[in-house]
Amino acid sequence: MSDGTGGPLALVPDAIRAMARYEVPHPPGIVAKLDANESPFALAPDIAAELGGVLAGVALHRYPAGDSPALRALISREHDVAPDALVFGNGSDELIALVIAAFSRAQGAARPRVVYPAPSFAVYRIAAASHGADAVEVPLCADFTLDEAALAGTLAAAPANVVFFALPNNPTGTLFPPEAVLATAAQHPDVVVVSDEAYFEYAGVTLLGELPRYPNLVVLRTVSKIGLAALRCGYLVAHPDLAREVEKVRPPYNLGSLNQVAAAWLLERHGPSLRARAAEVVAERDRLAVELAAIVGVTLFPSRANFLLFRVADARACWTRLVERGVLVRNLDRPGALAGCLRVTVGTREENELFLSAQREAMR
Ligand SMILES: Cc1ncc(COP(=O)(O)O)c(C=O)c1O
């Protein structure tokens, strides 16, 4: 078995065997953690203390409410959608997997197909592989815009089960035209078309209002990017007929009670201020983009999210030099479209300044 070919390992599907584990390096001495597209703003201490009191009242000896009632009421009010149009997930990560699982019927002899423009969010591939589906990647254009003709060709060539669009896309930051997502949904009414709006607060573009017109459209949202990443709370909005099928494959107690209560309390009381901080990040992003693009040797790609993707000649060396200065960014350098690419999350002004000076130094 040590050669990895015999015993139970022979039962692992090739797509999983070929995959590397999703690993995130945590080097010591980091003062500016700009690698995970998080909000740089911690909860204010007075709010955290009050939340502590609220959480003290949670019955830890009981299972959570499986249908997340407080969150459901809040989000259905906020988006003016029916409560049964919602499914809550342990992060939108989980919802990506549940959508693939629910709509995984094989089409004839072929395995189910999950289609997405690439490079994109790694979880699309991981979730497809773990549900016995083929991940069909449609390469983006060289400038990371959507290749609409290639996408149309892929969808015409063989039936897909699910198409994912990250709006805006991670890790490129590109905002694909929403019209292209809607056109895909209109032209392929038998396919589930997902608008993954994890970075909605930074791009301001949503297809939520289109749901009544597109019964095969699914919108994913998360609280992770507005300062609540630790809560692992995402939600799906879709026609209740679709949401019902996803509900069936959801682990019954997927959202812990502490997370549910914290998310509902924080969104109810502090939702507007959490979202307002996203506007500060957008202003910093635009400032950071100008400064970063001005560094000789840096090629910057336009971004509508809370991060910037850029290319340098030697990404590995650049990443290491940034780490030596206490700045952690994501190294995406690998052969193919992302060769030489690093991704920096927009931080506080001080963090961004530290990053910029370390980046200038790294390019000398
Ligand atoms: C495009 C995209 N979708 C979904 C997610 C997952 O978010 P969550 O924290 O809700 O699982 C991310 C996280 O980085 C993302 O980039």
Here the CATH number for the domain that contains residue 259 is 3.40.640.10
For residue 295, being part of any structural domain is answered with: yes
Q: How far apart are CA 11 and CA 341, in angstroms?
A: 35
- Find the 91 Cα to ligand 1 centroid distance in Å: 7
- Find the 170 Cα to ligand 1 centroid distance in Å: 8
Q: Any residues with CB less than 8 A from the CB of 79 and at least 6 apart, and which?
A: 208, 237
DSSP letters spanning 167-196 = SS-TTT-----HHHHHHHHHH-TTSEEEEE
Residues 117 and 142 in one domain: yes
Residue 108's pLDDT is what?
Answer: 82
- CB–CB of 214/242 below 8 Å? no
Mutate to test the pocket of ligand 1, among 75, 92, 194, 196 (most ligand atoms within 8 A of CB): 92
* pLDDT, tens digit (0-9, with 9 covering 90-100), for 136-194: 999 999 999 999 999 999 999 999 999 999 999 999 999 999 999 999 999 999 999 99
The pair of three-digit structure tokens given for residue 6, joined into one six-digit string: 């015999």
The pair of three-digit structure tokens given for residue 343, joined into one six-digit string: 């991704």
How many folded domains does the chain comprise?
Answer: 2
For residue 27, being part of any structural domain is answered with: yes
Residues 40 and 93 in one domain: no
For residue 328, being part of any structural domain is answered with: yes
Residue 23's pLDDT is what?
Answer: 84
Residues 237 and 338 in one domain: no
Compute and round to an integer the Cα radius of gyration of the chain: 21
Identify residue 299 by its one-letter amino acid code.
T
Burial grade of 6 (CB within 10 A; 0-12, 13-18, 19 or more): exposed
The pair of three-digit structure tokens given for residue 307, joined into one six-digit string: 């991060």
Residues 246 and 284 in one domain: no
For residue 55, being part of any structural domain is answered with: no
For residue 54, being part of any structural domain is answered with: no
Q: How far apart are CA 165 and CA 178, in angstroms?
A: 9
Q: Whose CA is nearest to atom 3 of ligand 1?
A: 198
Report whether residue 198 contacts ligand 1, using a CB cutoff of 6 Å: yes
Report whether residue 196 contacts ligand 1, using a CB cutoff of 6 Å: yes
Residue 319's pLDDT is what?
Answer: 98
The pair of three-digit structure tokens given for residue 348, joined into one six-digit string: 């506080």
Residues 306 and 252 in one domain: no
Residue 6's pLDDT is what?
Answer: 81
Q: In this structure, what CATH number is given to the domain that contains residue 315?
A: 3.90.1150.10
Residue 176's pLDDT is what?
Answer: 98
For residue 53, being part of any structural domain is answered with: no
Q: Which numbered atom of ligand 1 lies nearest the CA of 224?
A: 9
Terminal-residue alpha carbon distance, the chain: 49
Q: How far apart are CA 90 and CA 247, in angstroms?
A: 13
Of 228, 243, 269, the domain-final residue: 269
Residues 251 and 106 in one domain: yes
Q: Which numbered atom of ligand 1 lies nearest the CA of 222?
A: 10
For residue 333, being part of any structural domain is answered with: yes
Q: How far apart are CA 80 and CA 226, in angstroms?
A: 21
Residue 22's pLDDT is what?
Answer: 84
Residues 89 and 188 in one domain: yes
- Find the 100 Cα to ligand 1 centroid distance in Å: 15
Write the DSSP symbol of residue 42. P
Residues 264 and 325 in one domain: no
The pair of three-digit structure tokens given for residue 119, joined into one six-digit string: 């490079």
What's the pTM value of the predicted model, to 2 decimals? Answer: 0.96
Of 248, 269, 290, the domain-final residue: 269
For residue 148, being part of any structural domain is answered with: yes
Q: Which of 330, 314, 307, 229 is nearest to 25 (CA)?
A: 330
- Find the 164 Cα to ligand 1 centroid distance in Å: 12
Identify residue 79 by its one-letter amino acid code.
H
Residue 4's pLDDT is what?
Answer: 59
Residues 204 and 164 in one domain: yes
Residue 109's pLDDT is what?
Answer: 76
Q: Which of 82, 61, 78, 53 is nearest to 262 (CA)?
A: 53
Write the DSSP symbol of residue 90. E
The pair of three-digit structure tokens given for residue 121, joined into one six-digit string: 């969010």
Residues 170 and 244 in one domain: yes
Integer CA distances (angstroms), 301 to 143, 174, 181, 304, 343, in order: 8, 8, 21, 10, 10
Residues 157 and 102 in one domain: yes
Residues 117 and 216 in one domain: yes
Of 236, 269, 302, the domain-final residue: 269
- Find the 4 Cα to ligand 1 centroid distance in Å: 32
Residue 191's pLDDT is what?
Answer: 98
Report whether residue 169 contacts ligand 1, using a CB cutoff of 6 Å: no
What stretches in the chain show pLDDT beneath 50?
none
Domain housing 336: 7-44+271-362
